[in-house]
Amino acid sequence: MFLWRQYAASPLFQDKIALRTEQGEFFTWRQLAEKTEDYAAALQQQGVAQGEGIALCGKNSTDILLLYLAGIQCGARVLGVNPAFPTEKIARLCAENHIRFYFSSELKTLPNVTALSLPSADSNVVFIPIEDDWQRPATMTLTSGSSGLPKAVVHNVQAHSDNAQGVCRLMQFSAQDAWLLSLPLYHVSGQGIVWRWLSVGAELHLPTTDFYASLLQATHASLVPVQLQRLLDYLHQCAPNTFRTRHILLGGMHIPVALTQALAQFGIQSYCGYGMTEMASTVFAKQSNGSAGVGQPLPQREFKLVNGEIWLRGAGAALGYWKNNRIVPIMNDEQWFATKDRGEWRDDELVVLGRADNMFISGGENIQPEEIERVILACENVEQVFILPKEDEEYGQRPVAMIKFKDNFSESAVKNLTIWLNDKLEKFKQPVQYFPLNSENRQGNIKISRVQLKAELLDLLGK
């Protein structure tokens, strides 16, 4: 039996609050299970059968969450899609992944895909039960490749549940707590929140219109560094007398130590880690400290370094990639997942150096962009930065920065940063040019695409 149905049947949980919606409405576990079954019945009535693919294209909402659970209960493959994608790309993704149905509150039509409607209030359609199978393909999560369409990573319920348990133990997340659904469900980090909630029978909160006020009503949250900076600004400006938040999991990119130290002053413990879509989210994690590492593997995860590349297996491992209407295993011949991430074991923890395919060579020297980004992010006026290669006749390639300052982008901000970097980076690693990074039009993306940034850089350079 799936977890939401187990809690609905349990005298200890059935009348306990399970969900707070974006409108502030509360559902108990019994009400949530009943609502999910209504949505599952509506899906079945519209032709969604076991093994079918459905795409959920939208920002987090109660409807998207209920459709996610209902799709799994129907035995469908549920694919989350970023609503910011162009319609043509969404159509191609549906065709590539054999998706016949989709739900979107924004897209009116999608070629060759049937639009799904929500159950009506007076509907009396009854759900036709099927086996709650924890092993069958349940979710498809897009992960960006170096080029072309994103690949869909297929997980079953067992993998999501296994991944969640180690994070819950590390972050002391229990049935008495509440986690804010602060990251999109079409991303593996958003799904990780849902499965942690389900694993312990806690509360899940959807943000109301005031995101940071909502955050402070939850005991736990997952944030990327930009969100963390804005939370700190909110705490300083609004100075709330009381708030519930005690644990925050950070991810998405390098986490400046200054931010985690500032958070600790409010009595909030932060955690940093390392994970990926293929492993259903977090693999390594630790309480944040001054070191560059991501801690040790969580329970039931294994790793090894092979020629500097991180290999993984264990809890959360995907069934495979969806390709040509079948699942292609992610594991290599040695039954490990080769991540293409570079790392080293240092001071009894893993230090992630960066993507092997991001590295470039400048004047015979290896440049790892993530190393430079980590240093630049320590500057107090920097909010986001990405290092990219620029072709150079003499050196082959040189590093260029696309950067967002906390203040406006200006010549003086760039000059102050270059002075600050003089004694912190070798000369060949210091950016030779700076361009403004406009991240506002990328909302909903936890990770900004370096492929897209490289294309933008070529435009800026007039190439």
CB 242 within 8 A of CB 266: no
Residue 103 in contact with residue 58, Cβ under 8 Å?
yes
Residue 124 has what pLDDT?
85
Closest CA to 19 of 6, 31, 3: 31
Work out whether the CA dihedral 234, 239, 240, 242 comes out positive or negative. Answer: positive
Q: Which residues contact 124 (CB under 8 A, 6 or more apart)?
A: none
pTM, two decimals, is 0.87
How many angstroms separate the CA atoms of 334 and 327, rounded? 18
Q: Is 126 exposed, middle or buried (0-12, 13-18, 19+ CB in 10 A)?
A: exposed
Q: What is the pLDDT of residue 348?
A: 96
* pLDDT tens series, the chain, 463 aa: 999 999 999 999 999 999 999 999 999 999 999 999 999 999 999 999 999 999 999 999 999 999 999 999 999 999 999 998 889 999 999 999 999 999 998 887 899 999 999 998 878 899 999 999 999 999 999 997 545 689 999 999 999 999 999 999 999 999 999 999 999 999 999 999 999 999 999 999 999 999 999 999 999 999 988 789 899 999 999 988 899 999 999 986 677 788 899 999 999 999 999 999 999 999 999 999 988 899 999 999 999 999 999 999 999 999 999 999 999 999 999 999 999 999 999 999 999 998 888 999 898 888 999 999 999 999 999 999 999 999 988 889 999 999 999 999 999 999 999 999 999 999 999 999 999 998 654 544 567 888 889 889 998 998 6
pLDDT score at 444: 45
Q: What pLDDT does 438 receive? A: 81
- Cβ-contact 105, 63 below 8 angstroms: yes
Q: Which residues pair with 203 in a beta bridge?
A: 178
Architecture in CATH of 359-460: 2-Layer Sandwich (3.30)
Token representation of residue 409: 């982008």
Query: Could you write out the three-class secondary structure of the chain?
Result: CCHHHHHHHCCCCCCCEEEECCCCCEEEHHHHHHHHHHHHHHHHHCCCCCCCEEEEECCCCHHHHHHHHHHHHCCCEEEEECCCCCHHHHHHHHHHCCCCEEECCCCCCCCCCEECCCCCCCCCCCCCCCCCCCCCEEEEEEECCCCCCCEEEEEEHHHHHHHHHHHHHHCCCCCCCEEECCCCCCCHHHHHHHHHHHHHCCEEECCCCCHHHHHCCCCEEEECHHHHHHHHHHHHHHCCCCCCCCEEEECCCCCCHHHHHHHHCCCCEEEEEEEEHHHCEEEEEEECCCCCCCCEECCCEEEEEECCEEEEEECCCCCEEEECCEEECCCCCCCCEEEEEEEEEECCEEEEEEEHHHCEEECCEEECHHHHHHHHHCCCCEEEEEEEEEEECCCEEEEEEEEEECCCCCHHHHHHHHHHHCCCCCHHHCCCEEEECCCHHHCCCCCCCHHHHHHHHHHHCCC
The CA angle 448-454-457, to the nearest 5 degrees, is 110
Among residues 96, 97, 91, the alpha carbon closest in space to that of 114 is found at 91
CATH assignment, 189-356? 3.40.50.12780
Q: Kindly state the tokens that stand for 452.
A: 């897209």
Q: What ranges do the domains of the chain cover?
A: 189-356, 359-460
